[in-house]
Amino acid sequence: MRIVEKVPENCIPLEIAVIYGTKSQTLRYAVLEENVADWNAVAFELSRTGWYAAKKTFRTVAKYCADKGYDIVYGLYNPILRGIEKLYLSEGAVFSERYPGPVYFPGFYLNGELSKFHVIELEKETLQNIASKL
């Protein structure tokens, strides 16, 4: 897993992704909030052991984010990968209303099709609740 903290000098992955369904292939979201981060790169084997490891890792990263005191952590997931969606949503993540997406990264494909990602949010209280399950 990867956490990218938003600071004035950088762009987080959410800001690099292009908004899907617009005429412009360069329209992107700008994250103006402070004390936020982007959480990505979740993958696991579709098995009981893989699911257990993914939940444990997810909770450990949530604890890290809660300990850092982030107000909100954003994540991107491809809805084709149902296991990731189930993991995020079962642990309290919500679909972003601020950044409704979907978004994509030019040239990034899954099984020959452009990968489109939905944006989810984990607020401070959600991160703390997830971390408390460790």
**pLDDT attached to residue 36:** 98
Euclidean distance between CA atoms 47 and 41, whole angstroms: 18
Q: How far apart are the first and last CA of the chain?
A: 17
pLDDT in tens, 53-77: 888 988 999 999 999 999 999 999 8
**pLDDT attached to residue 99:** 96
For 7-112, strand residue ranges (E) read 18-19, 36-40, 72-77, 94-95, 103-110
**pLDDT attached to residue 80:** 85
83, 51 contact by CB (below 8 A): yes
Q: Which residues lie across from 113 on neighbouring strands?
A: 110
pLDDT averaged over the chain? Answer: 91
For residue 118, what are its two tokens?
Answer: 């939905």
Of the pLDDT bands very low, low, confident and very high (cuts 50, 70, 90), residue 41 is low
Domain covering 2-131, topology? Aminopeptidase (3.40.630)
Of the pLDDT bands very low, low, confident and very high (cuts 50, 70, 90), residue 15 is very high
Of the pLDDT bands very low, low, confident and very high (cuts 50, 70, 90), residue 42 is low
Q: Select the more confidently predicted residue: 100 or 81.
A: 100
**pLDDT attached to residue 38:** 96
For residue 102, what are its two tokens?
Answer: 């979907």
